[in-house]
Chains A and B, each alone.
Chain A
Amino acid sequence: KAGVTQTPRYLIKTRGQQVTLSCSPISGHRSVSWYQQTPGQGLQFLFEYFSETQRNKGNFPGRFSGRQFSNSRSEMNVSTLELGDSALYLCASSNHFSGELFFGEGSRLTVL
């Protein structure tokens, strides 16, 4: 059974650009959530999607957005990138009926 797949794994952008990250959950999982990990702030919740609907949102500016498609795949977008957006972005999926939550390998974003 394939795990959570995130693409791209690494990317470098410059300030002001925008970026789109993709996440394919484990087959059968309908819940996807996103987290940002930085050395200073640790792991912070971005948003959670279930059945194409955003169910919860963390305390991030509107430059951070996301969506979920009918096949449960999810994307997150960050517009007008800032240096502080450099981070590891982790996607997690669950089947919503068990407690377990599985993460992908992450997308490491560097903003120059």
Chain B
Amino acid sequence: AQKITQTQPGMFVQEKEAVTLDCTYDTSDQSYGLFWYKQPSSGEMIFLIYQGSYDEQNATEGRYSLNFQKARKSANLVISASQLGDSAMYFCAMRATNAGGTSYGKLTFGQGTILTVHP
């Protein structure tokens, strides 16, 4: 079974500052992948970043980085230089993978964190 916990229902950040969104997980899978998605009010689920459980380096994609701490079972998202357009709901999610890194099965989501960026 998999479980994702996002303990911050809402976060506020000043434009151009960095913000960290927390995510902890629990799973019985030996191999898994961790995802972050952004969902603006329009509803589209936008893929931000992915981290495989066996990846040694933390994933980065532009202003997004994933702070992966396997022993602590945490996968926090760091957004640097926040922009007004970053205001949205953010979801952490996970999915099992096989030894070769192929994902399968359902994506388990957390409850989400609403991020508001102030000018």
Contacts and interface: CB of A to CB of B under 8 A. Distances in A.
Contacts of A58: 106
B13 to A, nearest CB: 23
B44 A101 contact: no
B59 to A, nearest CB: 10
A55 B44 CA distance: 25
A58 B109 CA distance: 14
B107 A92 contact: yes
Range class of the A interface residue count: 20 to 34
Interface residues of B, number: 26
Interface in B40-79: 42-47, 50, 52
Interface of B: 33, 35, 37, 42-47, 50, 52, 91, 93, 95, 97, 101-109, 111-112
14 contacts: A33-B107, A35-B107, A42-B109, A43-B91, A43-B107, A48-B105, A56-B104, A58-B106, A99-B33, A101-B35, A101-B103, A101-B107, A104-B44, A108-B43
Nearest to B37: A103
A103 B35 CA distance: 12
A36 to B, nearest CB: 11
Interface of A: 33, 35, 42-43, 45, 48, 55-56, 58, 88, 90, 92, 94, 96-106, 108
